[in-house]
Amino acid sequence: MSLPLADVLAFNAILCGALLSPGAAMLFITRATVTSGRAAGIATGIGLGTAAAVWTLAALLGLDVVFRLFPWTYTALKLGGAIYLIWIAIQTWRNAHTPLGEAPMPKGRAFVSGMLLNFGNPKSMLFAAAVIVVVFPQGLAPLDIALIVANHWLLELVFYTILASLLSAPPARRVYTGLKPILDRIAATVLGALGLRLILEK
């Protein structure tokens, strides 16, 4: 079956809306970029996008069915992600008054941190599964699945590269530096709240 262009465009429109909505990923890449520079921001974005694309692949392959049949797998992933979010929140809060360092975060570390953040949120996969059921027909061929996943990854890469480029500009860094204690504690509060929500949600 050939993949209809209209379906891909609809999928991309939904993804763009999700990417533009404030959330843990947006906060994470914003902080990584203004504190460590454009390269670290892009590496973080690649990590975030890679994990998101893997969740889309999992949704296309039916991992949501596994979660329904074996709820403990979903619970384990959700708790792991919640603990990671809370750990980031604690570190961000504790370092709110620490001046920005001159040494940027290594790109490899930024990439892994971005991946871990999105891998720790299995709700991303459930979101992808819901979108896929609505947008794409059943019985997708392996090549169609590969194209959807590659399209998702490229869209995330473009979005986060543009975002990191904008946030790494000197004016953005100056604003962040001046407001760092406030912005870091806002970010820590939001990330911690998201982690607690993952723990408390049934």
In the chain, the number of structural domains is: 1
Domain that holds residue 68: 5-200
- Statement: residue 80 has pLDDT above 70: yes
The span from the CA of 96 to the CA of 182, in Å, is: 8
Give the chain's count of helices (H) and strands (E): 9, 0
Percent of the chain clearing pLDDT 70 (strictly above): 96
Helix (H) / strand (E) containing 150: helix 142-167
pLDDT recorded at residue 177: 78
The span from the CA of 190 to the CA of 23, in Å, is: 8
The span from the CA of 137 to the CA of 122, in Å, is: 23
**Number of Cβ within a 10 Å radius of residue 105:** 20
Tell me the whole-structure pTM to 2 decimals. 0.82
pLDDT recorded at residue 24: 81
Section 116-139 average pLDDT: 81
Comparing 7-11, 27-31, 191-195, the range with the smallest average pLDDT is 191-195
